[in-house]
């Protein structure tokens, strides 16, 4: 359902100027009923100036009157032909200021581990521009020496499902064009759901049983004899010869 612009300010206006129920206002503004109740009690949206939905062509007075007479009636946002299709995101993804410094690391990760992705796909995933992608791909970026590849999903720049969809789309395009894929590339093009169902790869053993009994000569008896010869009596180290007496020194 489409929501009005400045939804919380619109809710403030509806609370102050209508007798609509909290549920009706909450459904129209995309808020929780308790949040609307908090606005009415003065605990929420303090200092927020009400936004008139009638003057701003979002609601009609007839629609409000109808909802006030029928508590079950749900307010309908006024149709605006100029706003048709505005809910569809166009261009690169918007990235918050706090995460924009992480974009080069994500671009490097995508370029390194998913070279099959086009610049347009990388741009949509992390919200960047093609010149920046080319600079990192060609290692001409001004800070390329300090950039470490980091998964954009781990940084919160995109969802795992979006990354999987982009990779699968790139895979389908390459298969359609007849471009051969290496085994490593095929492994990368597997989605998260498919990878979870794959058998686990064998891990390297942490220890090899029996290694401690292996001998280079192949004869355990000879090794035991050599070990016996190497043993030193600890008492013999402390039984040093007696020092010469004073009479012997005179002689």
Q: What is the pLDDT of residue 107?
A: 93
Q: What is the pLDDT of residue 79?
A: 72
Q: Where are the domains of the chain?
A: 7-83, 97-196
The pLDDT tens digits of the residues spanning 54-63 come to 888 888 899 9
Q: What is the pLDDT of residue 208?
A: 46
Q: What is the pLDDT of residue 69?
A: 92
pLDDT band (50, 70, 90) for residue 234? low
The stretch 197-223 carries a mean pLDDT of 49
Closest alpha carbon to 166 in 141, 189, 195 = 189
> For tokens 């929780």, what's the residue?
32
Q: What is the pLDDT of residue 156?
A: 85
- Lowest mean pLDDT of 54-68, 150-164, 175-189, 197-211, name the range: 197-211
Q: What mean pLDDT value characterizes the chain?
A: 76
pLDDT band (50, 70, 90) for residue 101? confident
Q: What is the pLDDT of residue 84?
A: 55
The stretch 139-152 carries a mean pLDDT of 91
Examine the pLDDT at 225 and tell me if it is beyond 60. no
Examine the pLDDT at 177 and tell me if it is beyond 60. yes
pLDDT band (50, 70, 90) for residue 134? very high
- Lowest mean pLDDT of 23-32, 90-99, 167-176, 196-205, name the range: 196-205
The pLDDT tens digits of the residues spanning 110-121 come to 999 998 899 999
Within the chain, residue ranges assigned H as helices are 7-17, 22-29, 33-41, 61-69, 103-113, 119-126, 130-137, 152-155, 160-177, 183-188, 192-197, 220-230, 246-250
CA 247, CA 165: separation in Å to the nearest integer? 101
On whether the pTM is more than 0.75, the answer is: no
Chain center to CA of 100? 14
pLDDT band (50, 70, 90) for residue 212? very low
Pair of tokens at residue 100: 């924009």
Q: What is the pLDDT of residue 224?
A: 52
CA 3, CA 7: separation in Å to the nearest integer? 7
């Amino acid at each position: 359902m489409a929501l009005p612009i400045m939804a919380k300010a619109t809710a403030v206006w509806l609370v102050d100027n209508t007798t609509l129920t909290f549920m009706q206002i909450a459904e129209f503004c995309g808020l929780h009923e308790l949040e609307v109740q908090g606005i009415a009690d003065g605990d929420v949206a303090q200092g927020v100036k009400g936004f008139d939905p009638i003057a701003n062509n979002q609601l009609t007075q007839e629609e409000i009157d109808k909802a006030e007479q029928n508590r079950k009636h749900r307010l309908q946002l006024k149709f605006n032909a100029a706003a048709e299709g505005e809910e569809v995101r166009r261009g690169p993804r918007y990235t918050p200021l706090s995460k924009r410094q992480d974009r080069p690391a994500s671009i490097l990760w995508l370029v390194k581990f998913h070279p099959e992705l086009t610049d347009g796909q990388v741009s949509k995933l992390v919200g960047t521009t093609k010149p920046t992608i080319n600079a990192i791909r060609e290692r001409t970026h001004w800070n390329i020496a300090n950039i470490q590849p980091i998964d954009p999903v781990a940084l919160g720049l995109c969802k795992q499902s979006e990354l999987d969809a982009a990779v699968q789309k790139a895979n389908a395009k390459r298969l359609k064009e007849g471009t051969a894929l290496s085994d490593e590339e095929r492994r990368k093009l597997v989605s998260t759901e498919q990878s979870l169902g794959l058998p686990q790869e064998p891990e390297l053993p942490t220890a090899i049983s029996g290694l401690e009994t292996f001998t280079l000569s192949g004869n355990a008896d000879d090794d035991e004899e050599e070990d016996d010869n190497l043993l030193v009596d600890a008492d013999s180290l402390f039984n040093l010869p007696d020092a010469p007496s004073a009479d012997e020194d005179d002689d």
